[in-house]
Structure formats: structure tokens, C-alpha cells
């Protein structure tokens, strides 16, 4: 009993560190966008992650899955949504959007998950979840309109945050698509194959950028940020999250993803000097309040047993 308690306490600590790392990812992207193109950054991040994840599967003691044709197509679509729709859109959005505000907007995907689950799988939403969706979208609008140091212009920060909001929607699609597969296949296999498929579909983009030239000009700090994104946020991050789900349960583990948004604001303030505007503070509070209402809806008797994990968002 004591060993189990210590194990759970250890994993609670690991999940808190993971939320802090995923929050820092938005600062890392902001810094790397000064040295790499948004396409080059996404290419090298997921090529490096794939180069680590695929060999790791060879040493993992789990029977190799046998995916059916339909499941392979779902994994491919999910990988494209994650690598292209989420991460590439976040990279582009952070060209102009503040890192803190981008982190808040990107982590509104739990509410898109609720909406897509209702539309695609007829999942019952309930009043608590509906109220959470409305409250969080209000916070999203407030962050988008008043989250920057000045005010958002049509060509600047507003456009960047809109792309980040699109990324959030794509991540929700990734979550909803993969959820049925995670019931019958190991999470590590499903996640790895989806990310590798997404990385492979990016290869034609090599024609649009001179990746060797970009990497040759990358500074020491840039390599450090890139290693952090690829190895810590992507490889180690997914593995820690999957382990957290296994030990703590999906509902408890998802709560820690909700901490990514305030961590992204904190890192943007501490490392990049991004101001904590009233719009950003109030919008973040509304979004987190919406998270709480959705979680209450998940925990009510008869709610969330067949639902999709609301908090599967990466940095």
C-alpha cells in the first residue's frame, strides 16, 4: 500500500513537471522562430522524434500490433492532424502571436473534443460540459482580442492566434479519431505510429526549405531549444503522459494538461518579458474555469464513462 502511494505521488510530480515542460514549449517555439522557418522547425522536430521513437519500440516489451486497413487510415489521418494541423499551425501562429497567449489558445482543444464527440459519436454533453464550453470560448475570444501587449491587428497577433485556434481544433480531431483505437491497442504503439506517419507526410516540404542551410546557421541556444522540443516535449512528453494515464487514470492525468495554459503564460512572462495584460489574465481565468466545469461533467455519475479524454493536448 505504501509503495503504491509513493508510486502515485511520484507520478503526480512527473505530471506536474510535464505540464511545465509543455507550457515552456511555446516559449521554445517563439525563440526558434527567430532562427528557423516554421516549416523547417516542424520538419526537424518530428524527424528527430521519429528517429528516437521507432528504435524505442524495438526494446519495448509489448507484442507488435496488427492494425486493420481502416485503423491504418485512421492513424494516418490522426498523424496528419497532429503534425500538420496542430504543430505546423502553432509554429506559423507564433510568428506573430505572443507565446503565452498562444499557449492559452492552443489548450482550448478539450472543448473542441466535446463538440466533435457530440457531432461524430453522439456523446451526451450535459449542462456542466455545455456551460464549460461556452465559458471557455468566451475566454478564448477575450484572449484573442485583448491578450497582446498592444491590441491585435488583422495582420498581426490576431491572425497568429486564429491559426493557433485552428491548431486546437485539429488536435481535438486527432484525439477523437484515435480514442477508439486506444481501447484495443497499446497507447505507445498508436501514438508512435501516428506521429511517425505525420512526420513522413511532411517530407515533400523539404522542397520548400533549405533545411541543411537553416540548421547550419542554428545557434547553440537554438540547438538546445530544438533538442528540448524534440526529445523532452515530444518523445519523453508522450511517454510520461501515457505512463501517467496508466498509473493515475485518464481523468486524473488529463487534469495536469489543464496546467499547460497558465504555465505557458508564466514562461512567456518570465523568459520573454511578455506582459500579463488584463485581457490575457481574465481570458485565462475563464478558460480554466471552463476546464473545471467540463471536468465536473466528466465526474458526475453516468457522465464521461463513454466520453473522450478531454485533455489530450501536447506542447
Task: Dump pLDDT digits (tens) for 207-266.
Answer: 999 999 999 999 999 999 999 999 999 888 877 876 776 676 654 565 566 667 778 777
C-alpha–C-alpha distance, residues 307 and 288, integer Å = 20
pTM over 0.95: no
Q: Is 126 left (phi over 0), alpha (psi -120 to 50) or beta?
A: left
C-alpha cell at 44: 526537424
pLDDT of residue 272: 78
C-alpha–C-alpha distance, residues 212 and 44, integer Å = 10
C-alpha–C-alpha distance, residues 222 and 28, integer Å = 9
Least confident segment among 145-149, 299-303, 304-308: 304-308
Q: How far is CA 295 from the centre of its chain?
A: 18
Least confident segment among 48-52, 77-81, 191-195: 191-195
Torsion angle of alpha carbons 264, 268, 274, 276, nearest 10°? 40
pLDDT tens for 78-113 read 999 989 888 888 888 877 777 667 767 776 666 666
Alpha helices in 183-276 (DSSP H): 187-201, 211-216, 220-227, 237-248, 250-257, 260-272
Number of neighbouring beta carbons within 10 Å of residue 293: 19
Apex CA 259: angle with CA 258 and CA 261, to 5°? 85
Task: Determine contact, residues 229/90, Cβ cutoff 8 Å.
Answer: no
For residue 35, report the phi and psi dihedrals to the nearest 5 degrees.
Answer: -120, -25
Report domain extents, the chain: 2-299
Task: Determine contact, residues 103/28, Cβ cutoff 8 Å.
Answer: no
Q: How far is CA 34 from the centre of its chain?
A: 22
Mean pLDDT of 165-173: 82
The model's confidence at residue 304, banded by pLDDT at 50, 70 and 90, is very low
Task: Determine contact, residues 233/315, Cβ cutoff 8 Å.
Answer: yes
pLDDT of residue 275: 75
C-alpha–C-alpha distance, residues 115 and 111, integer Å = 6
What SS3 state is found at 310?
A: coil
pLDDT of residue 207: 92
CA distances from 287 to 107, 140, 166 (A): 9, 7, 17
What SS3 state is found at 277?
A: coil
Number of neighbouring beta carbons within 10 Å of residue 141: 14
Amino acid at each position: 500500500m505504501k509503495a503504491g502511494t509513493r508510486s502515485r505521488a511520484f507520478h503526480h510530480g512527473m505530471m506536474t513537471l510535464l505540464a511545465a515542460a509543455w507550457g515552456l514549449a511555446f516559449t521554445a517555439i517563439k525563440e526558434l522562430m527567430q532562427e528557423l522557418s516554421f516549416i523547417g522547425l516542424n520538419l526537424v522536430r518530428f524527424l528527430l522524434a521519429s528517429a528516437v521513437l521507432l528504435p524505442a519500440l524495438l526494446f519495448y516489451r509489448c507484442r507488435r500490433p496488427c492494425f486493420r486497413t481502416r485503423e491504418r487510415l485512421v492513424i494516418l489521418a490522426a498523424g496528419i492532424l497532429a503534425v500538420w494541423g496542430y504543430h505546423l499551425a502553432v509554429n506559423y501562429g507564433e510568428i506573430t502571436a505572443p507565446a503565452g497567449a498562444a499557449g492559452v489558445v492552443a489548450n482550448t482543444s478539450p472543448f473542441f473534443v466535446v463538440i466533435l464527440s457530440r457531432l461524430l459519436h453522439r456523446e451526451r454533453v450535459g449542462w456542466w460540459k455545455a456551460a464549460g464550453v461556452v465559458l471557455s470560448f468566451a475566454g478564448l475570444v477575450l484572449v484573442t482580442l485583448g491578450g497582446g501587449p498592444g491590441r491585435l491587428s488583422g495582420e498581426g497577433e490576431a491572425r497568429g492566434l486564429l491559426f493557433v485556434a485552428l491548431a486546437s481544433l485539429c488536435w481535438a480531431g486527432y484525439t477523437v479519431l484515435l480514442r477508439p483505437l486506444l481501447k484495443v491497442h497499446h497507447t505507445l504503439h498508436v501514438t508512435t505510429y501516428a506521429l511517425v506517419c505525420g512526420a513522413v507526410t511532411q517530407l515533400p516540404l523539404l522542397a520548400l526549405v533549405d533545411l541543411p542551410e537553416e540548421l547550419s546557421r542554428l545557434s547553440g541556444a537554438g540547438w538546445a531549444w530544438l533538442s528540448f522540443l524534440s526529445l523532452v516535449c515530444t518523445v519523453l512528453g508522450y511517454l510520461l503522459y501515457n505512463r501517467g494515464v496508466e498509473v493515475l487514470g485518464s481523468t486524473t492525468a488529463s487534469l495536469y494538461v489543464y496546467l499547460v495554459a497558465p504555465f505557458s503564460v508564466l514562461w512567456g512572462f518570465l523568459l520573454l518579458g511578455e506582459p500579463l495584460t488584463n485581457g490575457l489574465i481574465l481570458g485565462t481565468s475563464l478558460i480554466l474555469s471552463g476546464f473545471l466545469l467540463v471536468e465536473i461533467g466528466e465526474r458526475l455519475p453516468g457522465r464521461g464513462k463513454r466520453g473522450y479524454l478531454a485533455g489530450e493536448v501536447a506542447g
